[in-house]
Amino acid sequence: MDILTWFHDRSNITFAIAIIGFVISLYNFFRAMWDRRCAFTVEYISHNCTLGHMGHTQFIIRMNIQNQTSASLCISRMFLVYENQTYEFAFPAQQVWEFTSTHGKTVTNKKEILSQEMPFSIHGHGVQGAYFIAYLPETLKKELKKSCEFKIVIQTKNAKKSFNIVANNPGADLNEYGYFPVTAG
């Protein structure tokens, strides 16, 4: 009953409200600082599936990751989650596209585009647009070659964020540019 008598005094109620307000404002301040350190978005552009190494499906996704903070953002790992199965994106750079120019039977120019190497950093308020590759079971090739939905999980030093992706632009690079993906030989 001591607490009830303590709250019976109007000045004690005012004091308790002030303390609670101070604690909530401190929480909001630190929470806002934390959110600013790990604020980023993902923009899906296109995706494609090809037959990759040793019977695996090579899932290629092109997307932009935008850092919404002024601090540099370091992305250490990325995952594709499809039908409750998790697949990690390849961390060494992988060959995505290959272009060659020939003169007769002689190759005069050869250019390749690689996937994003991980880990990588994005400067404050910067955008990193790249291709990312995951190797999946061959059974998923047919399903992921068309429009589909999946999650992308991005792990940074400070947090792990999940993004729902509606992949409604399959093979856009093939259609737009006429490029053909590199397949394992």
- Convert the pLDDT of each residue in 128-163 to its tens digit: 999 999 999 988 888 888 999 999 999 998 789 999
**Long-range pairs, 173-179, Cβ under 8 A, ≥24:** 173/46, 173/48, 173/62, 173/97, 174/48, 179/97, 179/99
Phi, psi of 173, rounded to the nearest 5 degrees: -65, -40
Per-residue model confidence as pLDDT tens digits over 131-140: 999 999 988 8
Sorted by sequence, the CB contacts under 8 Å of residue 92 that are 6+ apart come out as 117
Asked whether the whole model's pTM tops 0.75, one would answer no
Q: Using CA atoms, how far apart are residues 138 and 159, in angstroms rounded to an integer?
A: 31
Confidence of residue 69 (pLDDT cuts 50, 70, 90): confident
Q: Using CA atoms, how far apart are residues 93 and 35, in angstroms rounded to an integer?
A: 30
Average of per-residue pLDDT across 38-47 = 90
Q: Using CA atoms, how far apart are residues 161 and 134, in angstroms rounded to an integer?
A: 18
DSSP letter at 115 equals P
Residues 104, 80: contact at Cβ < 8 Å? no
